Structure 1
Amino acid sequence: MNDIMKMIRFDLITVSRLTVPYVAIFVVVSIIASLFGLPIGILCVVSFIMIIAPVQGINNSSCKKLYGMLPVRRSAVIKALFTEIIVTMFAGELLTFLCLLLVRHSSLYKILPEKLSEIARKLPEMPDSRYEKLYLLAAAAFAFITIILSFAQMRSEVKNMETAIRELIIIIAVFAAAATFISVMIYNEKLHALKDIIVPPTSAGKWLSIAILNAVTLAAAYLFCAFTVKKASDKEL
């Protein structure tokens, strides 16, 4: 555990001046915008991954040999990289939820000019059943991106980055095709039961779906990490 924390600290120091200030600025802007009814904070679930993007670039380039010079086990390096993906994405999801909560309960939009106020008040005054879909959307984005990034990390460690990218393109293309087909079928009222599973009609159902998405994501990331450690921990950097 100490080695993992050392690697995470090392990576954060490496990127602290590259990405952290810009993500921090976006977070502040998102929170302020949320107070005025503007939901740009929903992008936090995506933007947080930019914190560790340079680390992933180093890990998948010729600079990767830098890790081989550090006095830590290879398995600790792998676990640290997966932990960084999960923690940053989860933090982004929680911040997105916070911004959505602020949008819902803040009334500062009323002090905006009339035209802006009319636009900003749409979300705070939206029915609960519709507004909660935004939380579910954020959780789905967290799950999809985290699983994709974890899979890419696994394949790049076990094989190489080119293989990971090639397989990701195929997976995303298949997912996009399946999502498009399901969306068309639901729009044409062909899959009522599936629609209720994907977007439960009740508030409790939506939050249960969010909990399941988070649990499945964490389990998938853990399995990818464990498999990577087993296959690549003895690999030379």
Structure 2
Amino acid sequence: MKFFYKYLKLLILVLALLLLFLLYGEFWNVTRTFPFITVHNQNINKSTIELYDLDSKLDSLKRANYIFLYRNNADNLIFKLLSDKNDSLKIHPLLDNSNGLSLTLPEFNYTTKDSIIGLYNNMAKSLTLNFDNSHFILFSYDDNHYTFNNINDKSMNNQLKDIPIDNIVITFYESENLKTSSELSGAGLLFTGGRIVDIEWSKKDGAPIKIVDERGKPISIIEGKVCWIIADNSVKIDFK
């Protein structure tokens, strides 16, 4: 009997260590994916964040103010949502801690479509993203909004295409830099009002992310829904 209890204690210890390892792995995956974004914006409640797979709760995508989209280590497309704090969505915190490792946004300059036309000259009415041929997404611009026009998961197309998006922000990162550098930076693209803009982002420890346009000025976007795509340099992008 003593041998049985000793074996049982050892088994419980091994299972506990395995659980801690799995939890740490998931935590590392989240913080590694979003090391440069923390919640720092008007009307955004830090608790209104949840992790979604592509095949669940798509109705919430329509009501979210910010849609974060990236590919995880298992090559699945993942959505993270931020909604206005007055929204009635029941969404649990992404990370239940106080160390600021969840999503934080820059303070965008909001403007009108007419002003965007005056600010940015280069037009782009469609955008295709190819994630190493494992996933592709096509956005089209029509009736003053971007929409998910096509995605390689056909079962999602009819639901995704009804989600109007006002701005698409794409930020590129170098995987190795995330592990070694205290000051992160990279390039990106902004699609707003049917225009495309080259952007640059930077993030220092303890400071919000900064995003500027090709003239070095903080980017201006149309007030409304933002789709923020976080991608490494393997993602192929075509637009016209």
Q: If the length of structure 2 is used for normalisation, what is the TM-score?
A: 0.23
TM-score by length of 1: 0.23
